[in-house]
Amino acid sequence: MENYEELLNCIVKEIQKKSTKTSVPVGISNRHIHLSHGALTKLFGQGYELTELKPLSQTGQFACKECLTLCGPKGVIEKVRVLGPVRKDTQVEILMSDSFKLGIKGDVRLSGDIADTPGLTLVGPKGSYELDKGVIVAERHIHMAPADAVAFQVKDGEKVGLKVPGTRGGILDNVSIRVDDSFTLECHLDTEEANAMGITPGLNLEIIK
């Protein structure tokens, strides 16, 4: 009987070990814009609603048909995609290289953390919208549901590393874990991070703690 229990324990441990997740799929973001209702109205007109082009991996999020122009003190970037739905605050996520082109500071921040970030002017078909803050370079992060956090043995707000294979491989430090019931498991990097490390969409990267 004792041997039987030992065998059971051994099987349970093996199953647990195999169910501990270690790798996450990658999603790569280019520069994009989230609009508040006020900004949407000013840029596209009263009563305007965003037009969904295609759904994104995070539930309820979508790429829109609409694009806008970003205007900074030193330069302009045209055809920047709007993502929906409308949010409480307008937020513009740029690449670090865009910050040099626009002539504004490139602040690496997690989405939503926009205190003391730079602004710029958005230009749309019905007018312009002067943003006093909300321009960030997105800090790399991993979205996951609470069950994923258990499987990975990580907590919301924790920072982990990601091992990148290949010629341009290496390790990305300080990748923030973001846990929410609504989140689908995915690591978000921007196009500069992906290009620099030779990462293509859908690649799975190993978490290092």
Nearer to a second copy, 50 or 154 (CB): 154
Member of 31, 32, 140, 141 binding a second copy (CB under 8 A): 140
Helices (H) and strands (E) in the chain — how many of each?
A: 5, 15
Q: Which residues contact 60 (CB under 8 A, 6 or more apart)?
A: 85, 182
CA distance 37 to 49: 9
Member of 8, 96, 156, 209 binding a second copy (CB under 8 A): 96
Question: Judged by CB under 8 A, does residue 171 bind a second copy?
Answer: yes
Member of 169, 182, 201, 206 binding a second copy (CB under 8 A): 169
- Candidates 8-16, 18-26, 74-82, 161-169 — which segment interacts with a second copy by CB under 8 A? 161-169
Where are the extended beta strands (E) located within 39-198? 52-55, 62-71, 76-84, 91-93, 108-109, 120-124, 127-131, 135-138, 141-144, 159-164, 170-179, 186-190
Question: Judged by CB under 8 A, does residue 119 bind a second copy?
Answer: no
Residue of 40, 92, 97 whose CA lies nearest to 74: 97
How many chain residues are in contact with a second copy, going by CB under 8 A?
Answer: 23
- The nearest distance, CB 102 to a second copy, in angstroms, is 14
Query: Footprint of a second copy on this chain (CB under 8 A)?
Result: 95-97, 108, 139-140, 161, 167-174, 190-193, 195-198
